[in-house]
Amino acid sequence: MELKDGVPPNYPLPLPNSGWRDFTPTTARQRTAGVSISERKSWFRHDGPAGLVVFLVALPLCLGIALSSGAPPFAGVIAGVVGGIVVSTLSGSHVSVSGPAVALVAIVAGSIQTLGSYKAFLASVVLAGIFQLVLGILRAGSIADYVPNCVIRGMLAAIGIVIILKQIPHALGSDQDFEGDFSFFGNGTQNTFTDIVNSVPSASPGAVMIALVSLLILIAWDRLRRRVSLVKLFPGPVAAVLSGVALNQAFALWAPHFQMKEREHLVSLPVVQSASAFFAQFQAPDFSVLGNQAVWIAAITIALFASVETLLSLEAADRLDPYLRTSSPNRELFAQGTGNIVSGMLGGLPLASVVVRTSANVYAGGQTRWAAFTHGVLLFIAALFIPGVLNLVPLASLAAVLMAVGYKLTKVELYKTIFRDGYAQFLPFIVTVMAIVFTGLLTGVLVGLAVGLLFVILANHHDAITVVSQDRFCLMRFNKDATFVNKSEMRRRLRDVPDNTHLIIDGTKALYIDRDIFEAVEDFRKSASGRNIAIEYKHFDSTERPSTRI
């Protein structure tokens, strides 16, 4: 990408008071009422439409996650609003979008049941936010830097596959699982594949037609916006959703048996009759339960899982960002902690940065945090003023949008590219993909990390030590830093030293030698005299070496 003055061409200027330091400063002429002209154009051309797309995708996800967690449906909307408005304001990420997370569903459901009331659970959400603030202050976000790139790319590809597989039943009109359920196993013997198989015989013609028309519009929109400038002004996903609504209303007039009219096949936003009834849906936490040990256990569990989910999603967001910007993980933990405190105080679910919404944001053209902020504002306005209008949207149409997002994440070209990088990159990548698809996000990433670590050990296991022998002298030289993964090689080399030898151990080229290596040499020294082996050390003193042992 060609850069001008250190930034991509036509890139929006920084938000006011955002603290960004990787952009060219604006001039006084570019500012009007505190907002740059370029930024204003960016919102109308990119961030506003992208926020609308993310809003359409996030709405059923927020409701579905709340229902699956055993929480009030409006609790998911609150978390989405807070994630969009509060977290995006404090976050340093440019494209990440936060809201209720699927990975927390089991934890939330179990915590509500254990604590006995939803208000008691809200107290644990507030505490979890405080714990995340502490993690951010302690700079614990740097743990994300140790996740290999092949695992992050595998996570994105796997999420793309999961999105496609889980949306197929919705596209066929089978909406038994809540929108946003990404777990492989369901109730009993049911799983993702059996859900697809079972949904084929009972496919709804209306849902299939809506999904196909929406997909065709998305494909055509992608091709037309490269040629027709007018198409660029309106996002394809919004056009696809509007077409789904129009088609379903047309079915009501001319083909009633095709119409998707049951509530489970449409967005189901709670409808209230007055502003007072709307605000009555907010709940305050019950802090009288803070003496209950289970509340603190639930808070720590939520904080840890939400933080891991956020850090992984943040890494993925930086990879998805077309401008290759990086975000501060510690600042993100602080933003997420603040968001969870606010969400808990208002009666919302715990939240985290979520890859699905972030992917939809990037796919729709979002460029700054205004897109996430816009989606939060739209969630609030829709819940307050137009819930009945949003309840006309068929889930089949939204399924088509999510399937398009999933395809963007898991293109065949991605697999080919990583395969060309060699097996050390491809195997952790493909293992991560399979593990996430068949288990879940966090479990799959842990499996991918384990495989990636195995390859790191194998790569560093050999050629760390060179041994040269002549007459009765033997030189053992370190070629690079030596850690515990080289301990077995070190022991093998020492065992192979012939009797009656003068052994020289040279650590000149190693800036770091692990304590395990020193202990292996010390164990050998104790038995060396019995084999008439004299040992000479050269730059091999444990007192002069840094150690990672605590």
CA atoms within 13 A on the CB side of 492: 11
Angle at 397 (CA atoms; ends 393, 402), nearest 5 degrees:
120
**Residue-level pLDDT at 8:** 46
Average pLDDT over residues 1-21: 40
Q: Which of 46, 42, 94, 10 is nearest to 358 (CA)?
A: 94
Q: Residue 26: is its pLDDT beyond 60?
A: no
pLDDT band at 43 (very low <50, low <70, confident <90, very high): confident
The span from the CA of 83 to the CA of 371, in Å, is 12
Instruction: Note the pLDDT of residue 549.
Output: 36
Tell me which amino acid residue 280 is: A
Name every residue whose Cβ is closer than 8 Å to that of residue 320 and which is 6 or more positions away in sequence: 95, 156, 358, 359, 362
Confidence grade of residue 380 (pLDDT, cut at 50, 70, 90): very high
Q: How confident is the model at residue 462 (pLDDT cuts 50, 70, 90)?
A: low
- Tell me what pLDDT residue 230 has: 67
- pLDDT, average across residues 21-44: 44
- Residue 148 has what pLDDT? 84
What percentage of the chain exceeds 70 in pLDDT? 88
Statement: residue 31 has pLDDT above 90: no
Would the pLDDT of 400 be above 50?
Answer: yes
pLDDT 10s digits, 189-200: 788 899 899 999
Higher pLDDT, 209 or 548: 209
What global pTM score does this model have? 0.80
Angle at CA 452, nearest 5°, toward 419 and 439?
90
pLDDT at 483 over 60: yes
* pLDDT tens-digit readout, 134-183: 999 999 988 877 788 888 899 999 999 999 999 999 999 988 776 667 77
- The dihedral through the CA atoms of 404, 407, 409, 411 has a sign that is negative
Q: How far is CA 20 from CA 14, 23, 62, 336, in A?
A: 7, 7, 30, 19
pLDDT class of 33 with cuts at 50, 70, 90: very low
Burial of residue 247, with CB atoms counted within 10 A of its CB: 0-12 exposed, 13-18 middle, 19 or more buried: buried
Place of tokens 């039943």: 169
Model confidence band, residue 476 (pLDDT cutoffs 50, 70, 90): very high
Q: What is the pLDDT of residues 330-345, one digit of tens each?
A: 999 999 999 999 999 9
Structure confidence at residue 324 (pLDDT): 82
Asked if residues 260 and 207 have their Cβ atoms less than 8 Å apart, the reply is: yes
How confident is residue 245, by pLDDT bands cut at 50, 70 and 90? Answer: very high
- Across the strands, what pairs with 394? 266
For range 33-48, the mean pLDDT: 63
Q: What pLDDT, on a 0 to 100 scale, did the predictor assign at position 542?
A: 61
Is residue 32 classed as helix, strand or coil in its secondary structure?
strand
pLDDT, mean of residues 403-421: 92
Provide the pLDDT for residue 10. 47
Q: What percent of the chain has pLDDT over 90?
A: 56
DSSP conformation class of 369: T
Instruction: Give the pLDDT mean for 463-489.
Output: 84
Q: What's the average model confidence in pLDDT over 294-301?
A: 96
> Would you say the C-alpha torsion 487, 492, 494, 495 has a positive or negative sign?
positive
Q: What angle do CA 435, 437, 443 make, to 5 degrees?
A: 45
Token duo for residue 23: 């952009």
Please say whether the beta carbons of 385 and 262 come within 8 A: no
Supply the DSSP string of 455-521, one letter for each residue: HHHHHHHSSSEEEEEETTEEEEEESS-B-GGGHHHHHHHHHTSPSS-EEEEE-TT-S-B-HHHHHHH
More confident residue, 263 or 479: 479
Do the Cβ atoms of 321 and 362 come closer than 8 Å?
yes
Q: What is the pLDDT of residue 421?
A: 87
pLDDT at 535 over 60: yes
Report pLDDT for 344: 97
Confidence of residue 23 (pLDDT cuts 50, 70, 90): very low
Give the integer Cα–Cα distance in Å for 370 and 352: 18
| pLDDT mean across residues, the chain | 85
- Mean pLDDT, to the nearest integer, of 447-469? 78
Helix (H, G, I), strand (E, B), or coil: what is residue 352? strand
